[in-house]
Structure formats: C-alpha cells, structure tokens
Amino acid sequence: MWRAHDLRLRRNVSIKEIQPPFRAEGADLKDARRRALREARSAGRLSHPAVISVHDLLEERGRLWIVMESLEALTLEETVGHLGHLPIHWTAWIGFQLLAGLRHAHGAGVLHRDINPGNILLTGDRVVLSDFGIAALNGDPSASTTVPISAAPSYVAPERLRGKRATPAADLWSFGASLYFAVEGRPPYEGPDALAVLGRAMAGDPAPPTKAGPLRRVLKGLLRRDPADRVTADHASRMLSEILRLEGVAVAPPRLPATRLPPGTFIV
C-alpha cells in the first residue's frame, strides 16, 4: 500500500499494489489481474461512508494498482491490540456504522466474504469496511466459492468452512465474530495454530462472551451456526440502535437498503 497524490484532481489517495501469487512457473499475472478487477468492480459499484471508495484501476508494465481514497485510520485489530478490548457502547457504535455499509453492499449484490478485524478501519468519525479482494459479484462466474487459505478461520462462517456457498448470512456471521473480538478482546475461537482454531470452529459454538453485557443477545443471534436461524441485518441493526439509545448515544434510525433484490441473487 502506497500513499500518493493525484495531481490532476489535487487529492491525496492510497494506491494498493496487487501482488500476484507465485507458482512453479512464475508469477500468475492472469490470476492477479482477475483479483484486482474483482476488487475494483466490487468496491467501485458501492457508495457509502462505511465502505472504502475506489477511484481507479491501473496497469503498468505488468504491475496492477488499485487507486482508492486515502484514510488516516487504525484497523479494529490494531485498536483492540492497543486497548485490550473496547467498551460496549464503542463496539455497538462501530457495529451499527459498519452494518449500514454491509447492508448497502448486500443491497447492491456484493458479498464481502472476508470480514475480519484487520479489514475494518477506524478513523476519527468513520467506520470503513475495506479489502474487497475476494468479494463476490452477483452473476460473476469467475468468483470462487472456496475459502481462501489466507482467511482466518475464527471469522469464517461455519457453513463456509463446510464448503457451502457464500451468502449475506455468512457475511453477518463474520461481522458478528468481529464484534465479539472487539468487545471481548479475543477471537471467537482460539488455539495454538490455525489448524487447532479450524478444528474448534468446525466443532461447536464460540465460548460465551463475558464482557459483552447487552451485546450478548446480538452476538448470540449473529453467531448461530445454522444460517437459517441467524438474525437478519435489519434485526441486528435495530438491536444495536436500541443498545446505543440505552447507552445515551444518539444515532439515526436504521434504514433499509435502497434496493430489494430477488431470491437467488447471491448464488455465485
């Protein structure tokens, strides 16, 4: 990631270089180009304060770059690392703002598929979902349905770990796991290595939260193993707004996404 300045439009930007995966015969530029185009298309069709803004996609001498808005921010992962865990009202506020962006993405037919504390940016007044590198676009036949090896199993929905297709409910599980991390100061599943974490994630529910207070009901609803039983984004948003109201934090009423998509939209 590079910090840069757009001379034509006179604005600061961030430039993300897409690193191609290496195979036995060398760099896989075709795969890198496909991933870069998917990320740019996914984020580029969204316009919401809680979603990173993408300005352009560049290719120069076989190197690929995504130009996006420049943010002075810490990730949720870094913030919790500094503070240990976040207070209930902070976590609820972060969740409420982030969920508005996620509902906007789902309303536009975009699944993120890799929500985790490292992809959630916190600025002075914004919560921003970034890194749409493995997002799935409605109708994109090139989008893989497998979970990438780089994904942290603590934040991947159980049905995705079992090889099921990505759905909005799977994004909501990852969203809930990120809120769990924020308020508890630890991921939903822990272990000495990724394989141990994966085994625990496949075997059962996360340990009950101990610091979440009124957020426990939200986390329980989001982290249900059966996606059919998981709370909806609308329901979660209403619960978060009620917690904030009781905590004395004023937020705008939850709004429905502008578009209602037909059943089967997210089958990729």
106 is in which domain, residue-wise?
A: 74-246
Regarding whether 201 and 177 lie in a shared domain, the answer is yes
Is 143 a member of any domain?
yes
CATH (domain of 101): 1.10.510.10
Regarding whether 179 and 209 lie in a shared domain, the answer is yes
Regarding whether 107 and 224 lie in a shared domain, the answer is yes
Regarding whether 129 and 161 lie in a shared domain, the answer is yes
Would you state the pLDDT for residue 169? 95
Regarding whether 119 and 194 lie in a shared domain, the answer is yes
pLDDT per residue over 182-207, tens digit each? 999 999 998 888 888 888 888 888 99
Regarding whether 164 and 34 lie in a shared domain, the answer is no
Is 262 a member of any domain?
no
Would you state the pLDDT for residue 109? 85
Would you state the pLDDT for residue 267? 37
**Which residue matches tokens 């919560």?**
127
pLDDT tens-digit profile, the chain (268 residues)? 788 888 887 888 888 777 665 444 555 566 666 666 766 666 677 889 999 888 877 777 777 777 888 888 899 999 999 999 999 999 999 999 999 999 999 988 888 888 999 999 999 889 999 877 555 544 444 444 555 545 688 999 999 998 888 899 999 999 999 999 999 999 999 888 888 888 888 888 899 999 999 999 999 999 999 999 999 999 999 999 999 998 888 777 665 444 444 444 443 3
CATH (domain of 31): 3.30.200.20
Domains in the chain, number: 2
User: Which of 26, 52, 69 represents a domain boundary (last residue)?
Assistant: 69
Regarding whether 207 and 106 lie in a shared domain, the answer is yes
Regarding whether 64 and 114 lie in a shared domain, the answer is no
Is 100 a member of any domain?
yes
Regarding whether 240 and 148 lie in a shared domain, the answer is yes
Regarding whether 233 and 110 lie in a shared domain, the answer is yes
Contact between residue 42 and residue 132 where contact means Cβ atoms under 8 Å apart: yes
Is 86 a member of any domain?
yes
Would you state the pLDDT for residue 34? 67
Round to whole Å and give the CA distance between 180 and 182.
Answer: 5
Contact between residue 128 and residue 76 where contact means Cβ atoms under 8 Å apart: no
pLDDT per residue over 205-231, tens digit each? 899 999 999 999 999 999 999 999 999
Active site residues per annotation? 114
Contact between residue 39 and residue 133 where contact means Cβ atoms under 8 Å apart: yes
**Confidence (pTM):** 0.81
User: Which of 69, 90, 123 represents a domain boundary (last residue)?
Assistant: 69
With CA atoms as reference, report the closest residue to 14 among 68, 73, 91, 75.
68
Written as one string, the DSSP assignment of the chain is -EEEEETTTTEEEEEEEEPPPEETTEE-HHHHHHHHHHHHHHHHT---TTB--EEEEEEETTEEEEEEE----EEHHHHHHHHSS--HHHHHHHHHHHHHHHHHHHHTTEE-----GGGEEE-SS-EEE---TT-EETT-TT---SPPTTS-GGGS-HHHHTTPPP-HHHHHHHHHHHHHHHHHSS-SS--SSHHHHHHHHHHSPPPPPSS-TTHHHHHHHHT-SSGGGSPPHHHHHHHHHHHHHHTT---PPP---S--PPTTTT--
Is 147 a member of any domain?
yes
Regarding whether 192 and 92 lie in a shared domain, the answer is yes
Would you state the pLDDT for residue 99? 96
